[in-house]
Amino acid sequence: MKNILLTTVLFAVFMNLGAQSFMINAYGRQDKLSLNGKWNAIIDQYSRGENKKFYLNQTATEDTKFFEYAFANSMRLDVPGDFNSQYPELKYYEGDIWYQRFFEAEKKDGKRAFIYFAGVSYEASVWLNGKKVGVHEGGFTPFQFEVTDIIKEGRNDVVVKVNNNRKKDRIPAMNFDWWNYGGILRDVFLVQTPGTYIQDYKVQLKKGEQRVINGYVQLNGKELTQQLNISIPELKISKTISTDNNGYASFEVKAKPVLWDPQNPKLYEVKITTSSNELVSDEIGFRTIEVDGAKIVLNGESVFLKGINFHEEIPQRLGRAYSQADAAMIIEEVNALGCNFIRTAHYPQNEHIVKMAEKKGLMIWEEIPLWQGIDFKNPVVLEKAINMLREMIYRDKNRAGVIIWSVANETRPNNYRNKVLTDLINLTHELDDTRLVGAAFDNSRFNPETSTVLIKDDISKIVDVIGVNEYFGWYAPWPVAPSEMKWNVAADKPLIFTEFGCESLYGKTGDGNKAHSWSEDYQEDLYKKNLEMFKNIPNLCGTSPWVLFDFRSPYRCHPTNQEGWNRKGLLSDKGQRKKAWYIMKKYYKEMEEK
Ligand code: GCB
């Protein structure tokens, strides 16, 4: 009975997720129509829209009929973009919002059509011309639905119901320290492909080799056995391969690429062409990343990660970041601090950010939103986490910049959590043996008898890299002088401080010894103390302060110091540099000179 119940539950999850693999690199496709722009929208606070068939977008024609909704003349929302930041009355809104727009399409003989969403938070249900095409759960990864048989020549009508309620079985769950932005957050396209198209590919250095590129191509369609060409013109590589009955072909070529690294983030144009003349192009870098004892080794040389965390948010606009211009603004501030590493906290951020970071020589820690408070007991949650992990790795496996996949942030040991994280770590290694697997822990503890910080957590033993979030001087007082603290946390493997810091209000001066002064002076002093402590940690391989900008969070209620902002930014919400910024800048400059 228990098994039947479990099977039913898991089946329900897969049905719900729609589980259609999206095409990799939609941005690199030849035939795509942007569906960005103004969409009509209806607020549906009590979730009556499905019952009332909003997706049919009807207007009354008979004298005896009427409809209590209409997209025509309704409110308008920009896509991409979160809805919370677009109207004052939506600031705190959590629930259903229905989006609708018309678009003109050309129906092309023999071609397939897909509606592709780069990210909708948190759940999207999609209808085209009145027919339901699917549902996707998870706010930070792409999804697509095939609409070949539904799309019409001329005017088409697409309707999306977006829901951003927080729920116990969602990821993240009921509570999280950032704004619960809902909406069609990222780009939307109609992509048209040949009958058989390139669904997926991987082109990377072979594990442990600097002179061998390998990978695969996966086709989707009826003509699965084809000849494909993979070329990297600058490396004078042009290789023809044949796919098998399942549309799959792997390949391996010798090559002497200039390796991607932060000083020279070299990317090569890679083109994949099928017999039906589909061409997908990408820009791909080649590098190796390994762990050697307690060191992180990039292209054979040990590297120190000079990092920073940020949310996918433009604080000056009080909303989510979604465009290339937004990515440029954030990455420019990362560069100004002298970083070579970012942690895209706490979820996969949009591809503009990931690609721009890679182009600017930043190594990336990418994470699924398994953030505190997760209901690990519920098997449905494990299935959702697996799906999010698969989608993140699937989307970004060709990005040389991504060096670490992280499975969680701040989860406390118990049997259920240990089982879920173990499954996720094993799966990550299985899906990608060329990158490192990490997680961020907040359960290291100071032992006063030995003046040593230790961790007791079985999961810390099975990650490749351990991330520690430590808030001495803020959530916990300094137990002894920072220079007297010893660290023995996973001493045999690389340790990164994935978070440290404290709040300060830009422009506030005050007592550098008092946390409740909320002053830049206190924050500056806390940073100095941390840097002092870092000197005595032999396995320290990187630091990533929390956080680049002040960011919006309903957690943060102090009426004058916070006003709905987490104030741990090195930059204020207006982008002004706080005193601690200069401390970190100097530290990273010194690390560069070492
Ligand atoms: C943490 C969390 C981060 C929070 C931060 C804070 O440990 O990982 O998401 O925003 O602390 O400011 O408390």
Residue nearest to ligand 1 atom 9, measured at CA: 177
In this predicted structure, the answer to whether residue 593 has a pLDDT above a threshold of 80 is: no
Q: Clarify whether residues 232 and 341 are in a common domain.
A: no
Task: Return the amino acid letter for 254.
Answer: K
Contact indicator for 206, 284 with CB cutoff of 8 Å: no
Pocket flag, ligand 1, residue 499 (CB < 6 Å): yes
Structural domain boundaries, residue 267: 197-287
C-alpha 272 to ligand 1 mean position (Å): 42
Strand locations in 80-196 (E)? 96-105, 112-117, 120-121, 123-128, 131-137, 143-146, 154-163, 183-184, 188-193
Cα–Cα nearest to 126, from 161, 152, 157, 150 = 161
The Cα-based distances of 199 to 117, 247, 473, 480, 536 in angstroms read 15, 10, 50, 56, 49
pLDDT in tens, 513-536: 999 999 999 999 999 999 999 999
Residue 334 neighbours by CB under 8 Å, 6+ apart: 308, 310, 342, 357, 360, 362, 548
Residue nearest to ligand 1 atom 3, measured at CA: 177
Pocket flag, ligand 1, residue 367 (CB < 6 Å): no
Q: Clarify whether residues 247 and 213 are in a common domain.
A: yes
Q: Clarify whether residues 140 and 24 are in a common domain.
A: yes
Q: Collapse the DSSP code of 261 into the 3-class scheme (helix H, G, I; strand E, B; otherwise coil) and give the result.
A: coil
Q: Clarify whether residues 64 and 180 are in a common domain.
A: yes
Residue nearest to ligand 1 atom 6, measured at CA: 177
Residue nearest to ligand 1 atom 13, measured at CA: 177
pLDDT at 20: 59
Q: Clarify whether residues 64 and 156 are in a common domain.
A: yes
Domain total of the chain:
3
Q: Is 254 left (phi over 0), alpha (psi -120 to 50) or beta?
A: beta
Pocket flag, ligand 1, residue 177 (CB < 6 Å): yes
Ligand 1: atom nearest CA of 345 is 9
Structural element, H or E, at residue 38: strand 37-44
The single residue listed with the structure tokens 């050697």 is 292
Pocket flag, ligand 1, residue 411 (CB < 6 Å): no
Task: Return the amino acid letter for 23.
Answer: M
pTM: 0.96
Q: Clarify whether residues 278 and 306 are in a common domain.
A: no
d(CA 366, CA 364): 6
State the CATH number of the domain containing residue 249: 2.60.40.10
Of the three residues 194, 222, 254, the one that is the final residue of a domain is 194
pLDDT in tens, 131-167: 999 999 999 999 999 999 999 999 999 999 999 999 9
Determine the angle formed by the axes of helices 415-431 and 379-396, rounding to 10 degrees: 30
State the CATH number of the domain containing residue 376: 3.20.20.80
b/e code 89-126 from CB counts within 10 Å (16+ = b)? ebeebeebbbbbbebebeeeeebbbbbbbbbbbbbbbb
pLDDT in tens, 434-461: 999 999 999 999 999 999 999 999 999 9
∠ CA 22-25-28, rounded to 5°: 135
In this predicted structure, the answer to whether residue 3 has a pLDDT above a threshold of 70 is: no
d(CA 482, CA 479): 8
Contact indicator for 199, 116 with CB cutoff of 8 Å: no
The alpha carbon dihedral of 41, 46, 49, 52 has a sign of: negative
Ligand 1: atom nearest CA of 442 is 7
Pocket flag, ligand 1, residue 469 (CB < 6 Å): yes
Our mutation pick for probing the ligand 1 site, out of 370, 499, 523, counting the most ligand atoms within 8 A of Cβ, is 499
The single residue listed with the structure tokens 């690390």 is 591
What percentage of the chain exceeds 70 in pLDDT?
Answer: 97
What percentage of the chain exceeds 90 in pLDDT?
Answer: 95
